[in-house]
Amino acid sequence: MKSDADEGYVELETDDGDYYVDLNAKNGSSVVSDADRVSDRNQLCELFVALGETNPIRRAIVNDNDIYGLLMRPIDTEEIKSEIDRLKTRKDDIDGRLEKIDRMVDRLPTLQAKADSLQKKIRDIEESLEAKREVIEEREVSGGTDEDERILEELQQKRTERETIRDRIRTQKEALSSLRDDLDGTSERLAEVHGADETQDFDEIETEIEQLHHQKQQLTTTINALSPIVEMNGQLLDDETDIPDQMKSDDIISELDPTSRTITCWTCGNTVERSEIAEQVRVVREILEEKRDQQSVIADRIESLESRKRQLEEQRETRKRLVDRKQSIEDEIERREEQVEGLEDDRSSLQSEIEALQTKAEEINVEDDELIGLYGDISDLEYKRGQLENELTDVETEIERIKSERAERDDLEAERESISEQLQEQRDRIETIERDLVSAFNESMQQVIDELEYENIERVWIERLTETTERSTSRTDFELHVVRSTADGAAYEDTIDTLSKSEREVIGLVVALAGYIAHGVSSELPIVVIDAVEMLDADRIYGLLTYFKQHADYVVTAVLPEEADELDSTFCSITTSTLDAAP
């Protein structure tokens, strides 16, 4: 939008539909108030479609900065790496599970032998019980009062109840021991994720993110305000024929010394020397670069803080689950401790009753002492049989569990194979796009060099470099190589900072085009918009547009009137004067 405009709009009519963007001026910058866009893929537009002077890839090439992160930005490498980590964790879990199943299966013969041994011991006890009951029946037939029999039967019953309660106490104590171990583990995990200042950290992060977004917006406003000034003054200085006559000086001294020529400043109206304007343009360019660097640093900081914010949110959820789990365990421990206390009271009461009955039994006729002993033996044998039956049940349950796990092994093997394939796909996904980017640039760059006839540049190419970090993870980078040739045809490698600004701008455009090709942007956005190509003459602009047209259905560029006149016969064109005249 123009600086004196309060609102503006853009409309696009196509065979597929009509689109628009409405803008309002706010705090010195343009803000979208309403829109029906062709695409909401802002990142693709910013990197590979809108190839103006402030395009991040062009700026990175001009300033010799890293381009890997920019070219790979549409591919959420962090998400892919996170998915790889998730798959690796699941694969490791399955491997551990398979190893555990194998160890469990190895135990089957031992468990089966133990089950057979327990069954034999139980049969032996049952045979002994049957023999002792036969003796008791014979004794009861031969003599003894009903009262004596009642006392002996009640004594046996109480002993059986006591042993049952003893088993229940043992079971409850084993459960309590397991619960306390679980509680200790939960408490340790809770201590690991606990942070006393976490809430404060979260609030501070949200505040800082909000402040950084505000700073980024201010920087964007500043950059948008300074860029047109630099561009216009740069054009005036680069091409003297563009300077209107009323802005030139006819002083003969200035003709002898071009740097002393004076120009009427288009902003303040004062007469200043070209060298002074050139110096001011240089200073403003440096400020612009500084602001762009600050904007990039702020964007990285925002991304880092957003990641930390998500991490804190996950910690909050984890801590809440652990707190709930801890409370649940503590409640269960308290409940079972009350049960144990009640059972121990019952056992103590039964012990008192048994002792009283034992005293009465001892008062029975002396010849019945052996009968009392038999009842005691039966009680002990029944208790031992109960223990053996419980142990046998545990062993048989374990055997069935192992057999069930063994049956699940085939499913785990199939899942493991599937995960291995997914892991390879995720790893190949990053590597494939990296190789596609390198291939697209190297092929395109060579054709553009030939098309634009850069005689002193032999080749410009990207090398894909990989290294393994200390954590055994792979890291990739793109290294840009420049090969020049001497007058006698000898080739030598040079650095990009030795190229002219126009050459670097062309390389930046081709790097962006490589991203456009490799990421398949044309399927969603079949258009490329190019601005700030005034450093090229009409022939090279023609060559550049012709090559770009091979990869995008629509290529739009803004050129100076002189180049437009030469290109008008080849490309459809529209002038800004036509736009100004439009209602």
Mean pLDDT, the chain, rounded, equals 81
pLDDT value of residue 322: 85
Over range 146-169, report the average pLDDT.
75
pLDDT band at 236 (very low <50, low <70, confident <90, very high): low
Check residue 104 and give its pLDDT: 87
Q: Which of 59-73, 78-92, 436-450, 471-485 has the lowest mean pLDDT?
A: 471-485
Asked if residue 228 has pLDDT above 60, the reply is yes
Q: What are φ and ψ of residue 23, in 5° steps?
A: -125, 150
Over residues 431-444, the mean pLDDT reads 93
CA angle centred on 486, ends 481 and 489, rounded to 5°: 100
pLDDT at 561: 85
Q: Say if CB 167 and CB 390 are below 8 A apart.
A: yes
Span 318-327, pLDDT tens digits = 888 888 888 9
* Residue of 244, 289, 285 whose CA lies nearest to 265: 244
Instruction: Provide the pLDDT for residue 480.
Output: 92
Radius of gyration over every alpha carbon of the chain, rounded to an integer in angstroms: 43
Query: Vertex 559, ends 230 and 514: CA angle to 5°?
Result: 90
pLDDT at site 449: 92
Buried-exposed string 78-104: b where 16+ CB fall within 10 A, e elsewhere: eeeeebbeebeeebeebeebbeebeeb
pLDDT of residue 512: 96
Note the pLDDT of residue 442. Answer: 94
Cα–Cα distance measured from residue 347 to residue 158, given in angstroms and rounded to the nearest whole number: 10
| C-alpha–C-alpha distance, residues 406 and 101, integer Å | 6
Rounded to whole angstroms, the Cα distance separating 8 from 32 reads 10
Measured between alpha carbons, how far is 38 from 255 in angstroms, rounded to an integer?
52
Average pLDDT score over residue span 193-217: 76
The residue with greater pLDDT, 542 or 77, is 542
Mean pLDDT of 290-308: 82
Assess whether pLDDT exceeds 90 at residue 519.
Answer: yes
* pTM, two decimal places: 0.51
First to last CA, the chain: 16
- Give the C-alpha separation, 583 to 405, whole Å: 78
- Relative to beta strand 527-530, strand 50-51 is parallel
What pLDDT is stored for residue 246 in this prediction?
45
pLDDT band at 1 (very low <50, low <70, confident <90, very high): confident
Count of Cβ atoms closer than 10 Å to residue 44 Cβ: 20
If pLDDT is split at 50, 70 and 90, which confidence band does 470 have? low
Sign of CA pseudo-dihedral 401, 406, 410, 416: positive
pLDDT (mean) for 147-154: 71
Q: Which regions of 255-366 does DSSP assign to beta strands (E)?
A: 262-264, 271-273
Residue 258 has pLDDT above 50, yes or no: no
Largest Cα separation within the chain, whole Å, is 152
The answer on pLDDT for 28 being more than 80 is: no
